[in-house]
């Protein structure tokens, strides 16, 4: 978990970088795909936490995946893909 905590800024930057290229290419208004707080919550709260990171030869983060058992901590839940 400590390794993931140390990568939060890098993961957030990667998400925004890739998304901004997509939005610019398609002439869309930029919307942050994952907030930094959401990434922090996933790293700190998901149990069990599994994942993979991908780095290029110069050790730059080029991708990541985290997984956990799906759960929701609300009385009601609505899947909203916005």
Residue 61 CB-density burial (10 A; 0-12 exposed, 13-18 middle, 19+ buried)? middle
Provide the pLDDT for residue 82: 66
pLDDT of residue 68: 87
Burial of 66 (0-12, 13-18, 19+ CB in 10 A): middle
Average pLDDT for 36-44: 92
Question: How do residues 4-24 score in pLDDT, each as one tens digit?
Answer: 999 999 999 999 999 999 988
pTM for this entry? 0.75
């Amino acid at each position: 978990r400590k390794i993931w905590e140390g990568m939060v800024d890098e993961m957030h930057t990667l998400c925004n970088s890739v998304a901004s290229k997509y939005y610019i290419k398609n002439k869309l208004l930029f919307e942050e795909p994952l907030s930094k707080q959401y990434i922090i919550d996933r790293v700190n709260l998901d149990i069990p936490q599994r994942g993979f990171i991908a780095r290029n030869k110069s050790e730059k983060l080029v991708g990541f995946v985290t997984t956990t058992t799906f759960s929701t901590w609300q009385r009601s839940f609505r899947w909203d893909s916005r």
